[in-house]
Amino acid sequence: MNYISIEDRLMTTRVLIADDECNQQELLAYNLEKAGFSVIQASDGQKALDLAEETIPDIIILDWMMPNMSGIDVCRSLRRISETRQIPVIMLSARGEEGDRTLGLDVGADDYITKPFSPKEVIARIRAVLRRSRPLLMNDVIAFADLKLYPRKKIVERNGQAIHLGPKEFDILALLMERPGQVYSRTQLLDHVWGHGIYIEDRTIDVHFSRLRKALNSNKNGNNHPDIIRTVRGSGYALRLPE
């Protein structure tokens, strides 16, 4: 996996287009790049799966009918792999029957677009899916309980008070706030925050969480805020609503 910093992700959203129809693939790629997206392309299912694992795109546009692996099988595989499980997928297909749409959604697609379609519709659907699944990329602010995080300004506030975080603590919090309640293992935190292939001790991650907790819980008025970081023994960390 290639590590991409939060700053890089905010500058450009990466879209993997998997379609064996060259003209359609190039048309989508042209319009997506014109709209400010970074585009990765694959012309068969196996290549799409390999690129998804290698590059971890922000969203995948996946054609149903492709050589080597169908879009349905690719989507199933993506949902079985921990690194790609959370990547949003939009399925493209000439099959417009209700049963086909239901199957596409049942195997894990986040949206389903029937051919023929306009590039503008695809771009609108991409943005809509990303607003739901990747708020860090699409929104100026993301919120959880009394906490607000401004990705581009690198600002965090709790109950209206500014909180000063180090770069790693900010990246950890941004990751947790994108999916409140999801438990991230130390391995997942390493891959997302430090980068795949980087070795650090588990103790280092615990130290960063200790700093993050201290910063989030401190209150200028003297009384500490409720702790919203949950430690799941043997599993990892997550955000939780105060009891």
**Segments making up each domain of the chain, as ranges:** 6-137, 142-239
How far apart CA 31 and CA 119 sit, in angstroms, is 7
Cβ-defined contacts of 219-226 (< 8 Å, 24+): 219/159, 219/161, 220/161, 225/146, 225/158, 225/159
How far apart CA 237 and CA 172 sit, in angstroms, is 10
Q: Per-residue confidence at 148, pLDDT binned at 50, 70, 90?
A: very high
What is the value of pTM for the model shown? Answer: 0.66
Of 194, 202, 197, the closest CA to residue 234 belongs to 202
How far is CA 232 from its chain centroid?
Answer: 22
User: Does domain 142-239 match CATH 1.10.10.10?
Assistant: yes
Q: Return the CATH superfamily for domain 6-137.
A: Response regulator (3.40.50.2300)
Q: What is the residue whose two structure tokens read 């899916």?
A: 129
Of 53, 95, 39, the closest CA to residue 72 belongs to 95
132's CB contacts (< 8 A; 6+ apart) are 110
Give the pLDDT confidence of 198-239 residue by residue, as tens digits.
Answer: 777 878 888 999 999 999 988 776 678 888 999 888 888 999
Topology match between the domains 6-137 and 142-239:
no
Around Cβ 156, how many Cβ atoms within 10 Å? 22
Q: Per-residue confidence at 5, pLDDT binned at 50, 70, 90?
A: low
Give the pLDDT confidence of 62-76 residue by residue, as tens digits.
Answer: 998 898 899 999 999
The mean pLDDT of the chain is 85
